[in-house]
Amino acid sequence: MKTNKIEHTKKAILEALEKSLGVVTTACKQVGVGRTTFYEYLNKDESFANKVADIQNIALDFAESQLHKQIQEGNVTATIFLLKTKGKKRGYIERQEIQHDSTIESKLIEWTPAKDKK
Protein backbone atom coordinates (compact mmCIF):
# COMPACT_ATOMS: atom_id res chain seq x y z
CA MET A 1 0.00 0.00 0.00
CA LYS A 2 2.83 2.40 0.87
CA THR A 3 4.50 1.77 -2.51
CA ASN A 4 1.30 2.84 -4.30
CA LYS A 5 1.27 6.10 -2.34
CA ILE A 6 4.93 6.76 -3.16
CA GLU A 7 4.36 6.08 -6.87
CA HIS A 8 1.32 8.37 -6.81
CA THR A 9 3.41 11.08 -5.14
CA LYS A 10 6.19 10.70 -7.72
CA LYS A 11 3.67 11.00 -10.54
CA ALA A 12 2.20 14.14 -8.95
CA ILE A 13 5.69 15.62 -8.56
CA LEU A 14 6.47 14.98 -12.22
CA GLU A 15 3.22 16.65 -13.30
CA ALA A 16 3.96 19.64 -11.06
CA LEU A 17 7.52 19.84 -12.40
CA GLU A 18 6.17 20.04 -15.94
CA LYS A 19 3.84 22.89 -14.98
CA SER A 20 6.62 24.76 -13.17
CA LEU A 21 9.16 24.23 -15.98
CA GLY A 22 11.34 22.14 -13.69
CA VAL A 23 11.39 24.37 -10.61
CA VAL A 24 11.72 21.85 -7.78
CA THR A 25 10.62 24.07 -4.90
CA THR A 26 7.45 25.13 -6.71
CA ALA A 27 6.60 21.56 -7.66
CA CYS A 28 7.18 20.25 -4.14
CA LYS A 29 5.00 22.96 -2.60
CA GLN A 30 2.23 22.24 -5.07
CA VAL A 31 2.29 18.51 -4.23
CA GLY A 32 2.84 19.04 -0.51
CA VAL A 33 6.15 17.22 -0.11
CA GLY A 34 9.52 18.46 1.06
CA ARG A 35 12.51 18.98 -1.17
CA THR A 36 14.33 16.30 0.85
CA THR A 37 11.71 13.75 -0.19
CA PHE A 38 12.09 14.83 -3.82
CA TYR A 39 15.86 14.36 -3.71
CA GLU A 40 15.48 10.96 -1.99
CA TYR A 41 13.27 9.83 -4.87
CA LEU A 42 15.70 11.34 -7.37
CA ASN A 43 18.72 9.56 -5.90
CA LYS A 44 17.06 6.17 -5.30
CA ASP A 45 14.83 5.77 -8.38
CA GLU A 46 16.61 5.80 -11.74
CA SER A 47 13.37 5.89 -13.71
CA PHE A 48 12.14 8.90 -11.74
CA ALA A 49 15.54 10.61 -12.18
CA ASN A 50 15.37 10.05 -15.95
CA LYS A 51 11.89 11.57 -16.13
CA VAL A 52 13.06 14.58 -14.10
CA ALA A 53 16.03 15.02 -16.46
CA ASP A 54 13.66 14.92 -19.44
CA ILE A 55 11.52 17.66 -17.89
CA GLN A 56 14.61 19.77 -17.20
CA ASN A 57 15.67 19.39 -20.84
CA ILE A 58 12.23 20.49 -22.00
CA ALA A 59 12.48 23.55 -19.75
CA LEU A 60 15.93 24.34 -21.18
CA ASP A 61 14.59 23.96 -24.73
CA PHE A 62 11.79 26.38 -23.88
CA ALA A 63 14.26 28.93 -22.48
CA GLU A 64 16.44 28.62 -25.57
CA SER A 65 13.43 29.17 -27.82
CA GLN A 66 12.58 32.33 -25.87
CA LEU A 67 16.17 33.53 -26.27
CA HIS A 68 15.99 32.96 -30.03
CA LYS A 69 12.71 34.89 -30.19
CA GLN A 70 14.38 37.84 -28.46
CA ILE A 71 17.29 37.69 -30.89
CA GLN A 72 14.88 37.70 -33.85
CA GLU A 73 13.20 40.76 -32.34
CA GLY A 74 16.54 42.59 -32.35
CA ASN A 75 17.41 42.31 -28.65
CA VAL A 76 21.14 43.09 -28.63
CA THR A 77 21.67 41.80 -25.09
CA ALA A 78 20.19 38.43 -26.03
CA THR A 79 22.42 38.29 -29.11
CA ILE A 80 25.54 39.06 -27.06
CA PHE A 81 24.56 36.47 -24.46
CA LEU A 82 24.15 33.78 -27.09
CA LEU A 83 27.47 34.64 -28.72
CA LYS A 84 29.32 34.64 -25.39
CA THR A 85 27.89 31.27 -24.40
CA LYS A 86 27.55 29.38 -27.68
CA GLY A 87 30.02 31.28 -29.86
CA LYS A 88 33.19 30.71 -27.85
CA LYS A 89 34.68 28.49 -30.53
CA ARG A 90 34.35 31.38 -32.96
CA GLY A 91 36.08 33.86 -30.69
CA TYR A 92 33.14 35.54 -28.98
CA ILE A 93 34.56 35.48 -25.46
CA GLU A 94 35.38 37.66 -22.53
CA ARG A 95 38.65 36.86 -20.89
CA GLN A 96 41.02 37.97 -18.21
CA GLU A 97 44.73 38.02 -18.83
CA ILE A 98 47.03 37.63 -15.85
CA GLN A 99 50.23 39.65 -16.17
CA HIS A 100 53.51 38.39 -14.75
CA ASP A 101 53.74 41.49 -12.56
CA SER A 102 50.79 40.18 -10.46
CA THR A 103 48.22 42.54 -11.94
CA ILE A 104 45.03 41.46 -13.68
CA GLU A 105 43.88 43.17 -16.84
CA SER A 106 40.28 42.63 -17.92
CA LYS A 107 39.44 42.90 -21.58
CA LEU A 108 35.78 43.25 -22.39
CA ILE A 109 34.55 42.79 -25.90
CA GLU A 110 31.61 45.08 -26.46
CA TRP A 111 29.58 45.18 -29.60
CA THR A 112 27.54 48.21 -30.55
CA PRO A 113 25.26 48.22 -33.58
CA ALA A 114 25.99 50.56 -36.46
CA LYS A 115 23.82 53.63 -36.49
CA ASP A 116 21.47 54.04 -39.41
CA LYS A 117 22.50 56.77 -41.82
CA LYS A 118 19.59 59.01 -42.70
The pLDDT of residue 92:
79
Q: What pLDDT is stored for residue 68 in this prediction?
A: 95
pLDDT in tens, 63-118: 999 999 999 999 999 999 998 888 878 877 776 655 667 666 666 666 666 666 55
Write the DSSP string, 17-55: HHHTTT-HHHHHHHHT--HHHHHHHHHH-HHHHHHHHHH
Please name which of 60, 35, 57, 39 lies closest in space to residue 48, comparing C-alpha atoms. 39
Of 28-37, 40-49, 77-86, which gets the smallest average pLDDT?
A: 77-86
Residue 104, C-beta contacts closer than 8 angstroms, at least 6 positions apart? 96, 97, 98
State what percent of residues in the chain have pLDDT above 90: 65
